[in-house]
Chains A and B, each alone.
Chain A
Amino acid sequence: MAEPAAGPAFYFDLFSPEAYLAAERVIGVLPVATEWIPVTAIALPAADSLEGFRCETDREAYLDRIARAAERRGLQPMRWPDRFPFDSLFAMRAATYAKQIGRTVPFALAAFRQAFAGGRDLSVPDNVLIAAAACEMHPNAVLKGAELATIAARLDDATTLAARRGVRDVPAVWVPDGDVFHGDEALERAAASLAS
């Protein structure tokens, strides 16, 4: 298993619209450089899978809350994929491959925007490849990388390490003193912790 990074970490899964909101501002809000780490949220101990809403109205209220937050921040209007939540495993393996070649941030931002500004289902490999192409990752390399057992193992290891650090859901920021800040709205508290 890879050693944990010494500095703070931003944990995300591409299926999470709240992680999208956080990703769009984490670089500006946190006062120090932060490692972006792809994890499989559904394997974390208390992740919200964005399913099981009481009724369609309840689900729409959740989606509307995210859309209004995006609007307040000047992001592109939210467009929800036809199938949501989608299975993000292939996309997260691609993100893990992107991390290996030093392109986590541009790939993750491009993929988040494909999903939530473009309304593309990231369980469809072609949609992931479009995001990869936007940050100059060759489609064949991404397809091959995402299929590698070593990449799958890295994603599993990162998720296991995240859980060991106390990450229960995404988005989350882990700071080196051991605190974990969950949710987009906790970024400011994470920043204050890092600045103190």
Chain B
Amino acid sequence: MHHAGPPASYVAGVKANRHYRLLYTRAGRRPAGLDPTRIDHIEVVDIASGEVVLFWDLAAPEAARRARRIREDLSVLDVEDFVDRWCAVDA
């Protein structure tokens, strides 16, 4: 897991999804529940710079759960809270 910190353009109180975008790369096309041994890749990238802020390689079902949590948090947390919450989460 990698953590680069809040982006230079960070403004307090602005939702994280204004700065960060989730990228969720599946190693196969079947639903995760049907392909539990597959390893999928999750990244959170800084929209402005394209820099990868957070990333994980996870088994497909766990990746699906984590992507959903991250998507939810991006839409409700501000940047600092989002980074604080997720930078401590290892694979």
Residues of A within 8 A of B (CB): 40, 42-43, 45-49, 51-54, 85-87, 89, 168
Contact = CB atoms under 8 A, between A and B. Distances in A.
A23 B64 CA distance: 25
A51 B26 CA distance: 13
Interface stretch (B6-14, B48-56, B65-73, B79-87): B65-73
A40 B29 contact: yes
B31 A86 contact: yes
B22 interface: yes
A49 B64 contact: yes
Given A52-B61, A52-B65, A46 B31 contact: no
Interface of B is mostly: helix
Interface in B22-61: 22-26, 29-34, 61
B15 interface: no
Contacts of B33: 51
Interface residues of B, number: 21
B24 A47 contact: yes
B21 interface: yes
Contacts of B24: 45-47
Given A42-B26, A43-B26, A49 B32 contact: yes
A125 to B, nearest CB: 15
Contacts of B63: 52
Contact of B31 (A45, A85, A168): A85
